[in-house]
Amino acid sequence: MKTEKVDKRQAILEAAEKLFCETGYEGTSTRQIAKESGANMAMINYYFGSKEGVFVEIMNERIAGFTSQLKIINEDKISALEKLHKVIEGYVNRILNNTAFHKMMHRELSLTQRPEMYDKIKDAMSHNMQIIDRIITDGIEDGSFNKVDVRMVIATIMGTITNIVISPHKVMSCSNFDLNNPKDKKIIKDRAVAHLQDLTTVYLTTKR
């Protein structure tokens, strides 16, 4: 069992994800995927049945790897604010470590097409939102948070992160930031976490 034996199936998935992220689903041809992965075109249909099968498989794997992540935090015996800060940190890290996929997910979400994918993404997002919702709602009920529009606060947290990922990097700062540069990514991550934690602290806990 040689380790240099490449798993064509996996190679196809990785090449396809890269190409889908860069040029979109419709903008990527099966021949491109084949060339990029080093596999023959027929292998795509052999393993996944169709081009869409590849896409569905990518989404399923990714989403499966995501939904299991945010759960544990809620068990800790820490304050609502600390929980929220942990969630923010986790969320920022996850998304900024998978910017390409996150872009692709949002692109797919904004299309009226492929309702199966839409529902799948919706469910995954919905689950994450429920976790954040619970933390904030609990904080409000036990009096440690102000009464706020919870769903809007969630939109702010998620929207801020998404905006950082999607918006042209050169717009983000005066100098030329690049999210593919690990050093720049670290800086952006820290700034985003600091900002969102500061923002939520002030907005949710300031007596007024």
**Measured between alpha carbons, how far is 118 from 56 in angstroms, rounded to an integer?**
11
Q: How far is CA 132 from the centre of its chain?
A: 15
- Name the binder of 29 from DNA, a copy of itself, none, CB < 5-8 A by kind: DNA
As measured in angstroms, the least distance from the Cβ of 112 to DNA is: 16
Q: Which of 67, 66, 182, 87 is nearest to 132 (CA)?
A: 87
Of 10, 40, 60, 144, the one binding DNA by CB under 7 A? 40
The Cα 62–Cα 97 span in angstroms is 13
In the complex, the smallest distance separating the C-beta of residue 52 from DNA, rounded to whole angstroms, is 6
Rounded distance between C-alpha atoms, residue 68 and residue 169, angstroms: 30
Q: Is 194 in the site for DNA (CB under 7 A)?
A: no
* Closer by beta carbon to DNA, 107 or else 134: 107
Question: One-letter amino acid identity for 82?
Answer: E
Per CB under 7 A, 32 contacts DNA: yes
Q: Copy the structure tokens of residue 29.
A: 């041809």
Partner from DNA, a copy of itself, none binding residue 107, C-beta < 5-8 Å depending on class: a copy of itself
Are 162 and 95 contacting, i.e. CB atoms less than 8 angstroms apart? yes
CA distance linking residue 39 with residue 6, whole number of Å:
10
Residues that bind a copy of itself (CB under 8 A): 22-24, 26-27, 103-104, 106-107, 109-113, 118, 121-122, 125-126, 129, 148-149, 151-153, 155-156, 158-164, 166-168, 170-173, 191-192, 194-196, 198-199, 202-203, 206, 208
For binding to DNA (CB under 7 A), which residues are involved? 1, 8-9, 28-32, 39-46, 49-52
